[in-house]
Amino acid sequence: MIEQKEVEELVGRGEFDQAIELCREAIDEEPGKSVNYLYLGRVYVAAGRKKEAIRIFRDGLLFEPNARIDDELARLGWRDLPPFQSLGREHILNRMVGRIMRLLGLK
pLDDT per position as a tens digit, 40-94: 999 999 999 999 999 999 999 999 999 999 999 999 987 777 888 788 888 999 8
Which pLDDT value is given to residue 81?
A: 74
User: φ and ψ at 64, to 5 degrees?
Assistant: -165, 155
Looking at the structure, do residues 20 and 58 belong to the same domain, yes or no?
yes
Q: Which domain holds residue 9?
A: 4-76
Looking at the structure, do residues 64 and 21 belong to the same domain, yes or no?
yes
Looking at the structure, do residues 20 and 70 belong to the same domain, yes or no?
yes
* Number of other CB atoms surrounding residue 53 within 10 Å: 23
Which pLDDT value is given to residue 32?
A: 94
Looking at the structure, do residues 62 and 94 belong to the same domain, yes or no?
no
Looking at the structure, do residues 24 and 60 belong to the same domain, yes or no?
yes
Looking at the structure, do residues 98 and 46 belong to the same domain, yes or no?
no
Give, in order, the Cα–Cα distances in Å from 5 to each of 2, 11, 12, 39, 70: 9, 10, 10, 10, 21
Looking at the structure, do residues 32 and 83 belong to the same domain, yes or no?
no
Q: Are residues 36 and 60 in contact, defined by beta-carbon separation less than 8 angstroms?
A: yes
Which pLDDT value is given to residue 107?
A: 66
Which pLDDT value is given to residue 64?
A: 93
